Every structure is written in structure tokens, then in C-alpha cells.
């Protein structure tokens, strides 16, 4: 019964506000830089993916997946990779299509249910024959991709892939989008949509004859945007179909490797459906931890080593 009832995370009382937690880790926190070595690989559909490596000469590798409109330069990715390097792991950050600082070649891009690129990257990494063990860490959107992939592939996951952790995951999208589209998440929603729309204005110049509806730029909610653009360009029958098929919750029962989901109880992005307590009680390989506080990919901790609780907790589980 791997439901972790008593989380070890204790929020400092003066930073308990969930929105402060969310904003501090993504915007305010200074994690410094990291000396990545970038590798570009070509996908089967002749697009490209950029992998950013941080090696220490280990036989263990962690693959990090960022969230919506994030990248290998996101604070939570850099801090996580630094923590793994310190503990003797090689690390590689997977930038989703269009997230590495350069538009991808095709009209299609990444989305919260897209797992074929993750499968391609894992096949590439295992074919290198450099690692005895590979672990996956996904944050928010990247966490949903990781959970969905592990459930979809189930017994076909490569044996080198031993464990996974997913953090702050809206694993039931239909209800979570209602939360994200609510008034109290306006600033986040506006920031995300503005970033995505700016990229699509570039894409519209790259593909002037392709389908990019002008009405999409007026969308003020994720449901409107996904109904007008994301679902159409990726061959779904509207936003509702997109959310139903992309939610990782339905795939979790098929996961066969030890996997930890950490969702803070005060995460404003998540609905009550994103805390699958009963699944954790029934499944031997699915662990669920619900800290009382933490916001969305927050989990602030002021410690001498500079790392937050979340990074150290991920390393602890995977090690």
C-alpha cells in the first residue's frame, strides 16, 4: 500500500502561501547556471529534439522533463540536475519541440499527452549502452507525459528504465483545466498563453498556408485555446477529446516500475481528481505523496546546501 501518508515536507511558516511557493521557485529563486553540452537528434518525421547533458561520468542517468513552456533552463530543472550530479548521476534535460530556444521545423509541436517523442528519446539513450540504469523525472506537463508513457508502454518499457518521479501533475485534465481556467489562476494562465501565442506567430510566418486560426489569438482560457488550436493541429476532436485522451490518470494502473507522484494539497492547478489515493492503496508500484503545502512545483526549503526539499526527495526515491 504505497500511499505515503506522512510527507516529510515542512513548509517554513513565513512562505506557506501556495502562490508564493509557485512563483518563488519558477521566477525568484537563483539556482545559478549549468554547463550543458547540447546534442541535437533528428526525429523520424525529420524534426529535431535538443538534449542538454550534464555528465559526471556515471553509469546512472536521470532524464528530466520540463513543464508547459519550460525548458532545460527552468529553475526546477537546473536545480534537480545539479542535485543528481552531486549524488553521482549523469543527467540530461529533454527540451520538448520548440522549447530549446529555436522553433521546431514542423507545424506540430509538443502537448501534454504527446509521448512518442519521449519514447524516441529513451530508445536513443538506451541504444548508447552507456548506462546501467535510467530514471525519469517529470514536472507538471512533463510529469503527465512520463506517467502516460509508462502506463501506455507498460511491460514494453526498456529494462534500463528502472524508476520514475512525477511532480505537480494535472493527471486528470478535464477537471484540472477548470481549475487552471479559474480566476485565481489568471496570472499563470495569461503568462502561459502569451508565451505560446508568441511562438505561434512565428510559426504562422513559417507556414503561411497551414491552419493557424486567427481566432486562436483571442482565446483567454486554455479550453478555448485547445479547442481552437491544440486539439485540431494534433488530430483530436476538440478540447474535450484532447483532455480525455491525454490524461495520464487512466494509464497509471498499468505502470509496472516503481513510480512516485508528488502533488501538493494546496496546488492551485490541480483538481481533487489529481490525488489518486485509492490507486496508490491498491498498486504495488505506484507511490503517492501529498504534502500539505508546496504550491505548483514549489516546495521551498532554505537549507545550507541550497537545494529544496523536492530535489532531495526525488533523488532519495530514485536512489
pLDDT tens per residue, range 220-261: 999 999 999 999 999 999 999 999 999 999 999 999 999 999
The pLDDT of residue 1 is above 70: no
CA distances to 155, 184, 241, 265 from 67, in Å: 26, 20, 21, 19
- The pLDDT > 70 percentage for the chain reads 99
Q: Where are the domains of the chain?
A: 3-172+249-314, 180-246
| pLDDT, tens digit (0-9, with 9 covering 90-100), for 43-92 | 999 999 999 999 999 999 999 999 999 999 999 999 999 999 999 999 99
C-alpha 26, offset from chain centre:
13
What mean pLDDT comes out for the span 165-169? 98
**C-alpha span between 319 and 213 (Å, rounded):** 47
What CATH number is given for 3-172+249-314 in this structure? 3.40.50.1820
The pLDDT of residue 109 is above 80: yes
What's the predicted TM-score (pTM) here?
Answer: 0.96
| pLDDT, tens digit (0-9, with 9 covering 90-100), for 203-225 | 989 998 886 778 889 999 999 99
The closest of 313, 268, 270, 301 to 137, measured between CA atoms, is 313
- The position carrying cell 481556467 is 181
C-alpha 66, offset from chain centre:
4
pLDDT for residue 177: 98
Amino acid at each position: 500500500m504505497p500511499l505515503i501518508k506522512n510527507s516529510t515536507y515542512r513548509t517554513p511558516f513565513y512562505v506557506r502561501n501556495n502562490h508564493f511557493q509557485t512563483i518563488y521557485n519558477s521566477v525568484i529563486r537563483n539556482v545559478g547556471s549549468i554547463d550543458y553540452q547540447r546534442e541535437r537528434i533528428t526525429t523520424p518525421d525529420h524534426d529535431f529534439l535538443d538534449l542538454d547533458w550534464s555528465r559526471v561520468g556515471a553509469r546512472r542517468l536521470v532524464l528530466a522533463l520540463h513543464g508547459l513552456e519550460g525548458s532545460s533552463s527552468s529553475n526546477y530543472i537546473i536545480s534537480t540536475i545539479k542535485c543528481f550530479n552531486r549524488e553521482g548521476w549523469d543527467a540530461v534535460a529533454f527540451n520538448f519541440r520548440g522549447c530549446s530556444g529555436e522553433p521546431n521545423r514542423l507545424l506540430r509541436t509538443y502537448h501534454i499527452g504527446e509521448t512518442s517523442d519521449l519514447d524516441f528519446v529513451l530508445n536513443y539513450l538506451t541504444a548508447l549502452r552507456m548506462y546501467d540504469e535510467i530514471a525519469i523525472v517529470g514536472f507538471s506537463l512533463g510529469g503527465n507525459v512520463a506517467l502516460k508513457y509508462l502506463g501506455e508502454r507498460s511491460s514494453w518499457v526498456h529494462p534500463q528504465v528502472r524508476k520514475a518521479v512525477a511532480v505537480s501533475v494535472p493527471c486528470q485534465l478535464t477537471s484540472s483545466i477548470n481549475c487552471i481556467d479559474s480566476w485565481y489562476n489568471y496570472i499563470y494562465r495569461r503568462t502561459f498563453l502569451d508565451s505560446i501565442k508568441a511562438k505561434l506567430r512565428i510559426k504562422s510566418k513559417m507556414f503561411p498556408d497551414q491552419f493557424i486560426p486567427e481566432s486562436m489569438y483571442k482565446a483567454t482560457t486554455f479550453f478555448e485555446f485547445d479547442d481552437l488550436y491544440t486539439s485540431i493541429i494534433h488530430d483530436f476532436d476538440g478540447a474535450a477529446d484532447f483532455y480525455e485522451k491525454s490524461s495520464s490518470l487512466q494509464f497509471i494502473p498499468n505502470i509496472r516500475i516503481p513510480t512516485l507522484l508528488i502533488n501538493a494539497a494546496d496546488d492551485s492547478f490541480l483538481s481533487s481528481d489529481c490525488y489518486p489515493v485509492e490507486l496508490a492503496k491498491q498498486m504495488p508500484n505506484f507511490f503517492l505523496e501529498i504534502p500539505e503545502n508546496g504550491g505548483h512545483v514549489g516546495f521551498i526549503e532554505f537549507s545550507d546546501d541550497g537545494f529544496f526539499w523536492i530535489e532531495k526527495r526525488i533523488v532519495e526515491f530514485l536512489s
